[in-house]
Structure formats: C-alpha cells, structure tokens
Amino acid sequence: MSLFPSDDPLIIREGTHQVIKCEVNGNATPTPTKTWYLGSTDITNTAGNNTSFINITGRRENNKKTIQCRATNINEEPKNASTTLMVECKNRQLQIKYVETLH
C-alpha cells in the first residue's frame, strides 16, 4: 500500500491543491474500503465516489498534520499509508503605521 506522490513530508503551497492517490494491492479480495484522515479527522466524504484519490488544499492550520489512507477488508488486518503535510505559507507583509504625536 502506498501514497502518490510519495514525498514525506509532502510540501504544498498555501492555497494550492494537491491530488493524492492511495494505491492498494490489486489482488486484495474483496476490494478494500479506503478511509482518509487529516490528523484525526475523517475526511473521506471529501473524496466523492472514488476514494482512491483525495484533493487536499494547502491551509495554514493543516501544517504538520498527517494525511493517512487506511484500507480495510474482511480478510486482512487494516493497512495504512501516511505522510506529513508541510504547508508553505504565503508571505504576509506587515504594515506598520507610524503615528506622530505633537506635544
């Protein structure tokens, strides 16, 4: 079982999207059910009908969280593949307002 891209950590720029594929042994019978997690949150419902793929958006609050795909079927122990998400944050310019006081 593996994730593609296989980078660990997986670097994504803030605000951009990355499709991640979860590939399980094709000989598994019955076909495994795949569940996706971002940190401890189940995000499978964001995958739509094809849970082999998930589309992740780079968000600052998800930096350093683990993305995990878990495959289960009735014949084998669950299998997991995971990576750490590293979000490259956009530079924010800090504006400083100078206030001049007269005495």
Tell me the pTM. 0.81
> For the chain, how are helix, strand and coil distributed in percent, rounded to 5?
5, 45, 45
Identity of residue 54? I
Structure tokens of 92?
């924010």
**From CA 86, how far away is CA 18, in angstroms rounded?**
12
In a domain, 80, yes or no: yes
In a domain, 95, yes or no: no
Domain of 7: which CATH number? 2.60.40.10
Q: What is the pLDDT of residue 31?
A: 85
pLDDT in tens, 51-101: 899 999 999 999 999 999 999 998 889 999 999 999 998 765 444 555 555
**Measured at the alpha carbon of residue 84, what is the angle toward residues 35 and 86, in degrees to the nearest 5?**
125
Number of domains in the chain: 1
Q: What is the pLDDT of residue 94?
A: 46
Q: What is the pLDDT of residue 90?
A: 77
In a domain, 99, yes or no: no
In a domain, 96, yes or no: no
pLDDT in tens, 73-86: 988 899 999 999 99
pLDDT in tens, 28-45: 788 889 999 999 999 998
Structure tokens of 33?
């059910």
Structure tokens of 15?
């605000």
- Domain limits for position 41: 2-88
In a domain, 94, yes or no: no
